[in-house]
Amino acid sequence: MKYFKNWLQRFAYAGLVLLLIEAHTTQAEDWAQAAGPLGNFNADGKAPASFSVSKNENVLWRSKLPSTGQGTAIISNGRVFVTSHESIDRDSELGANIVGLCFDAKTGKELWRRTLPGVRNTDLSSLFSDNTAASPVADGNRVCFINVGGSIRCFDYEGNQQWAYDWVPFGRHHARLHEPILHGGHVVTVQYPFRDLDQIHTTKPGAKPLGRGHKYWTFLQAFNLQTGTRDWIAKAGTSIHQTSLIGTLPDGRRAILTGRGGGHQPPEEPYGLSLVNAFDGTTIWDLAISKYPSAQNACWDGKYAYAFAGKEHLTIDAAKGKIVRRVSIVDDVSITKWDANSYVREMKTRLPKFRRPITKNSNALAGRYHYFRASESFMIGRVDTLNGYVEYLQVPVQVVRSPAKADETLWDKALANDMKNADGFVASKDRRNAGNGWGHVSAASPTVIGNHIYMPTMIGMVYVLRADSEFLDDEVLVSISDLGPATKTWTLSSLSYSDGRIYARTLKELICIGKSK
């Protein structure tokens, strides 16, 4: 590993080199669901590995959004589909209804919008999710928007409604972290399966008297995209903190890895993982895991599933549901950290004390490596799934940029967000929403494009790393890009990709990142 004295100079040089030598190639495959074409946040192709919305670098277009929102922008047949909470005309803390929007992917022009009602009032821009937390899904002919506050609406690509489904959510927990999955002409969601609750049960105080019984569990459910018919409800429960992911077993069966557990005693049991048949919702296996926090992405590669629990990283035989390896993510790890004016690498050291293994939902597989953001410090981590080797890289929490000034790198504390939407109104209740986006937050998931992994944070920083590098040290950090100026940029949305372009959404706007042809 090489050391360098001036990190800012090195970053600027790396960005210049990328602009000069990176060939522009395209990959036309759509990003039709939150987890991408492969269902695992990965895609082939190449996109800009360095960009700055603050300085208008590698930005093709920007379009104003009605208000705050958190789902991923979905790309299908030249359209971008995204959700937003309704427009507000004053500073606001709560909202129920959301808007599904359709844009032209090439120009950013808004084509149409439709309202989805909600019966659950939710904190706007909550760091633990709001009513827009579920991204749209699109199959080339139909798009489904989901208001996790109680409605699904399916439209054709001209905005004509095809079918609708409404329910009253069980409100024991605030978070809603499942992302809808496309499979076999269906959209797979997670929600309370009955339609017999009163609105009072959408709140924590109103839901808790009902208890934790099986009746009030949430489950994976498959809706037919053409008819809106619910064709199956999974046998295994799914905690609303879990982001379930689809994959293929060695014998060719399509299955969904899902889980239960986490903070505030979610009712679904046993805590741990289940593999569910994607065709009918039956259970292939259940695995009880002590201290399993379901607020993570259920990553698996067909042969093995991978999970964080307590202070360990687990490798699980995907066919049998048996743990085959346990590795400490605390002891005997490698840490490359910033020491005054250069990076130094410590081998076989111990990670400082932490309360949670990872920043929630910040994990994704990139080849043989399981990447994540650490919880209690500003470090990106990864586990080599072949040998269990664990590495960490300290990164700045924020780089402050503006067109007329030199970049300012902050290592220990980020600037607070103003939490204002594009119309200048505050759309937020919890003061923690204005934080740095590490630790106790339902973070945006990483996106892997080719051999680069993009890791966005709540304040609009995007760490771009060469995902397949032999060592996780300062040499792999390609850029710290941004989605907008400091204090004015907020996002809990993952990045999507299609045809050489990256699509991002913030509290204020929808953004297309790419290189002009």
How far apart CA 296 and CA 289 sit, in angstroms, is 14
Cα 415 to Cα 278, 302, 379, distances in angstroms? 44, 41, 18
Q: By the 8 A CB rule, do 152 and 145 touch?
A: yes
Q: What angle do CA 224, 228, 234 make, to 5 degrees?
A: 55
Q: What is the pLDDT at residue 174?
A: 72
Q: What is the pLDDT at residue 356?
A: 81
Looking at domain 7-513, which of 2.130.10.10, 2.30.30.220, 1.25.40.10, 3.40.50.300 is its CATH number?
A: 2.130.10.10
At residue 428, what is the residue type? S
Q: By the 8 A CB rule, do 39 and 246 touch?
A: yes
Q: What is the pLDDT at residue 28?
A: 52
Burial 384-393 (b: 16+ CB within 10 A, else e): bbeeebbbbb
Q: What is the pLDDT at residue 354?
A: 78
What backbone phi and psi angles, to 5 degrees, belong to 9?
A: -65, -40
* 0.85 exceeded by pTM: yes
Query: Of 316, 335, 336, 318, whose CA–CA distance to 327 is shortest?
Result: 316
Q: Could you say which residues of the chain have pLDDT below 50?
A: 1-27
